[in-house]
Amino acid sequence: MLDKSAPQSQTRSAGPLTGFRIVEFAGIGPGPFACMLLADMGAEVVTLDRVRAGKNLKSVAGRGRKVIELDLKDKAAVAQALELLANADALIEGFRPGVMERLGLGPDVVLARNPKLVYGRMTGWGQEGPLAQAAGHDINYISLTGALAAIGPKERPIPPLNLVGDFGGGALYLVVGVLAALLEASKSGKGQVVDAAMCDGAASLLAMFFDLAAMGRWDGGRESNFLDGGAHFYGVYECACGRFISIGSIEPQFYRLLREHAGLSDAAFDAQMDRKAWPTLREKLTEVFKRKTRDDWCTIMEGTDICFAPVLTMKEAPDHPHMAARGVFVERHGVTQPAPAPRFSRTPSTIREATAADITGVIDAWKAGR
């Protein structure tokens, strides 16, 4: 069952980023997710949102913030934002290029008041280039990198949720960039702009596949390579119950175990790495896995070196014994959500409450703490 008292969900930890102050300009997608990670790790994150935005203080991605409503079209509000940023360590914004400059909050203005500030910018296309001002979403950014073309069945590419662009290629690269710039600023005393673009990050995530292509081990077709569903020993199979399992028996020793536990005595399975044999072997393996339920296959294979796992739904995942034992999911305000990651041995992360705040009070507190 779901562990509602996992250590990561408690408020006793300081976290490795305790003492760092980050100002977030409210947005959607990767920016808020990046700030969730930073808040979980102990940073004090203050979110500047629109007046009467009606921010849900109990949302998962919005957890751990102090939320301040501010009309940035008002010069007095902009002056308050600048005063807050004068005592911050980092800023994160996800507007189109030029918006912050038009508000009077661009890097030149902000860094002139706080030269040590790290100015994190999250966009899809980047701060410059022919598409910089065009609207887009995750699916568009990963389309241009080659990532989307490689994902899905032969018939057509399939969007991999928004994990590759928004969160993998966007938020995580923004966090890495901001943390690296904070580390450098602690030595040089100088801040800088971090230009995190989802198209850049998604392209970076393809590094291994460009390597494989250069070695002649990856072609451009979907379901024709060993990691994209083309190989019979790496993929998803339906069981007798209509649910699914996944196997990843790439290495010879793991493949041997797969054959032993699945009863694959047919000599045709000797040709593990023969691409021409893969379609036929996949058909044979499809028929084998449909003979038993998912639970049956879990009893036979889970915990072995086959590289096996049941394909769980988001509803099922929290109650899996391994996920429950590690407290991978926790419950807050009646909402099941991921616990903080990664884990730290001495300064563990924690989920903090999001609260409405007054900007004058935060400014005064930050000034006093300097």
186 neighbors 19 (Cβ within 8 angstroms): no
Nearest partner of 40 among 85, 5, 9, judged by Cα: 9
Nearest partner of 20 among 4, 7, 37, judged by Cα: 37
Q: Give catalytic status of residue 137 as yes or no.
A: yes
Q: Would you say residue 9 has pLDDT above 60?
A: no
Q: Residues 189-213: what's their mean pLDDT?
A: 98
Q: Residues 157-184: what's their mean pLDDT?
A: 98
Catalytic residue of the set 138, 166, 200, 228: 166
Mean pLDDT check: name the lowest of 52-61, 145-154, 271-280.
52-61
| Torsion over CA: 33, 7, 349, 334 (sign) | positive
Catalytic residue of the set 137, 195, 261, 320: 137
Under DSSP, is residue 310 helix (H, G, I), strand (E, B) or coil?
A: strand
Q: Residues 225-251: what's their mean pLDDT?
A: 97
Residue 14 pLDDT: 83
Nearest partner of 238 among 173, 155, 310, judged by Cα: 310
CA 246 to CA 264: how far, in whole Å?
17
Question: Running DSSP on this structure, what letter comes out for residue 231?
Answer: S
Residue 7 pLDDT: 44
Q: Give catalytic status of residue 232 as yes or no.
A: no
Q: Would you say residue 76 has pLDDT above 60?
A: yes
Q: Residues 330-350: what's their mean pLDDT?
A: 96
Fold of the domain spanning 244-310: formyl-coa transferase, domain 3 (3.30.1540)
pLDDT tens digits, one per residue of 37-61: 999 999 999 999 999 877 778 899 9
Q: Residues 158-179: what's their mean pLDDT?
A: 98
Domain ranges of the chain: 7-207+329-369, 244-310
Residue 45 pLDDT: 98
Fold of the domain spanning 7-207+329-369: Rossmann fold (3.40.50)
Q: Would you say residue 13 has pLDDT above 80?
A: no
DSSP 177-225: HHHHHHHHHHHHS--EEEEEEHHHHHHHHTHHHHHHHHTT---SSTT-S
Residue 161 pLDDT: 96
Instruction: Tell me what the pLDDT averaged over the chain comes to.
Output: 95
Q: Would you say residue 11 has pLDDT above 50?
A: no
Residue 4 pLDDT: 52
CA 211 to CA 270: how far, in whole Å?
27
Instruction: State phi, psi for 145 to the nearest 5 degrees.
Output: -90, -15
Q: Residues 207-224: what's their mean pLDDT?
A: 94
